[in-house]
Structure 1
């Protein structure tokens, strides 16, 4: 399996981060009430794409895990890629929301005490849902997915064994949830989507669908039906039908990334290098954009208010000035750290070359 770059993944990742940031814009804007109505659906779509693409790209780039040393090297690379920028973002959150006391917008005030900060520093917020920093649950969840991934691949020889191993490894976490009320519920939802991404790459699902257009159209039709029914249930259902809503939501989350990928693949003009370049840049910056978007938008909102820029003009400034600057800032941070990170893993691996 060659590790050639898959352009469609960059486009999906771009849509994912755009959906996520837009779903949080109702924290900062006051004249676009529509975001308050659709933010949960934007979050649902964006997070589904994020975790699916993460699983798909993970297997595409890291499918050869045959020894314990391969597992070790995988962990080492993930640690260097994730933690330093994540720690930087946590410090920025503390400075912006605890020291400077900048208004976080239409959301609960931040309460980053020492224990909360420590739990997040080590990435254990996925185990302790009572400790909360807005949007940082995602990092704990994806870290646990990455921790389990090489173990799943190491002990699996085919698609069926990947699925069985993934289910087997999640049992202890389900016990923690049921018996100790630990673990965030979101982990179980998005872990399944992550594994779905892994399996989709393993079985070359997209190639199969691309060669069978009728199957693709049927999947798109089913996704539309599930989305329509789910949206209506969210509006009218009572607590008695939460199971139906849950099943429909998860079915949609599994189908939506597949249909999105096939739709993007069908747009031939997106293969043009001049068109794909902005998508690739935003996809490249997406992790930093996610980490820093809350403190950045809150700070920008504070600056606009201090300049007596409020109302509709402030909202437009956040959208059409703030969001492009946020993407540029995310790209700059990612590029700068990548240049530093490029030299660290090689040195560390040399010192641990005896690990088997």
Structure 2
């Protein structure tokens, strides 16, 4: 139990760090002229996003360790739908209200078709992608085996690549992040997290691979293998990140990073709307002033609104699930 608690602590810290980076650095750049861009930012961004995807796969697996029949598939789909889709739909409506998207785009995103046709608005592409991974999860877990998981993943990637190559459809990110999700499922099923918590040969090898492939990704951007390097460094970066987070989590204020992790989904969904409102209220030509305004006022506001919203939504969705189950 103690080891499991430590594992979750390290993942909560990674989720908290990822959402602070995405909301407070990466997307904040869009409102301050990109002054927070730094060397290697692409690698940091992809690592944090892949960690989000990995954690999704891992948590799904430890919370749904066995799916063996159609009734369990339906129960899983119902729980995930209540957890994810209404919040996503509400975010879409807010985006439309703020004129971030047209009615046509709203319908396309609501039907999750955007990730298939490769036409997504910023930010919410990630949620559409995760929804498709959730659809794949029961297929992997029914009659689970490691060999079968690799076979299903390989077939899915091959089919998506073929569609992208022949039709121009399919957002490549759906393919690129899929291995990170499957890695999370495998890690949850085979308890790899315990291996990642110690600096052993596996973690050292992964760290070395991360340095190699991230360097190739950065220094050869025009290479035909650019996307392949991206997949490899994202996968290789996850175990060292977990090892580092496991060490840091022991020395940081637990409630802070756990609350951030809890609010992270709503923070991701709603931060652009809150930034839009704040910049409509006040704007300055000074990048420094706008950074201070949005970071020190906007980020705490995004967290507070998201935490309260998530808390109340969880109460509501749990009551609905109990009534209908």
TM normalised by structure 2 equals 0.91
Match of 2:170 in 1: 183
Out of 110, 120, 137, the position equivalent to 1:149 is 137
Q: Which moved more, 1:286-295 or 1:224-233?
A: 224-233
2:199–2:243 Cα contact (<8 Å) kept:
no
User: In the alignment, which residue of structure 2 is the partner of 1:338?
Assistant: 314
1:113 equivalent in alignment to 2:114: no
The count of corresponding residues between Structure 1 and Structure 2 is: 322
**1:258-337 alignment, distance < 5 Å:** 258-267=239-248, 270-271=249-250, 275-305=253-283, 310-337=286-313
Q: Tell whether the 8 Å contact from 2:19 to 2:264 is kept in structure 1 after alignment.
A: yes
**Helix, strand or coil at the partner of 1:35:** coil
User: Residue 256 in 1 paired to residue 245 in 2?
Assistant: no
Deviations 1:229-273 (A, max 9, x none): 432334xxxx3x231x33322111001111100112234xx236x
Q: Which moved more, 1:191-200 or 1:13-22?
A: 13-22
Who is 1:205 aligned against? 192
Task: State the Cα deviation string for residues 47-99 of structure 1 (Å, max 9, x = none).
Answer: 11111111111111112101111100010011111111111111111112x2x
CA distance in 1, matches of 2:41, 2:107: 30
Matches of 2:220 and 2:285, distance apart in 1: 40
Matched, 1:28 2:4: no
- 1:280 Cα deviation (Å)? 0.8
Unaligned runs of 5+ in 1: 99-109, 350-356
User: How much does 1:37 deviate?
Assistant: 5.5
Which residue in the other structure is 1:104 paired with?
none
Unaligned 5+ runs, structure 2: none
Residues 229 and 168 (structure 1 numbering): CA distance in 2 closer, same or farther, change over 3 Å?
Answer: closer
Deviation, 1:165, is: 2.4
Query: Which one has a bigger Cα radius of gyration?
Result: 1
CA distance in 1, matches of 2:135, 2:174: 13
Within-5 A mapping of 1:56-75: 56-75=58-77
Kindly state the Cα deviation for residue 290 of structure 1 after the two structures are TM-superposed: 0.5
Distance 2:192 2:287 in 1: 48
CA displacement, residues 126-175 of structure 1 (integer Å, 9 cap, x when unaligned): 11213x3211111111000000101111132x222222223234444344
Q: Contact 2:69 / 2:142 at 8 angstroms: preserved in 1?
A: yes
Cα RMSD between the aligned structures? 2.4
Q: 1:259 to 1:3 in 2, by over 3 A?
A: closer
Cα offset, 1:218, TM superposition: 3.1
- SS of the residue aligned with 1:54? helix
- Which residue pairs with 2:205 in the alignment? 218
CA gap of 1:216–1:42, structure 2 versus 1, over 3 A, is closer
Write the distance in 1 (CA, Å) between the matches of 2:54 and 2:285: 40
Q: Offset of 1:219 from its aligned partner?
A: 2.4
Partner of 1:103: none
- Indicate conservation of the 8 Å contact 2:40/2:218, yes or no: no
Range that drifts further, 57-66 or 139-148: 57-66
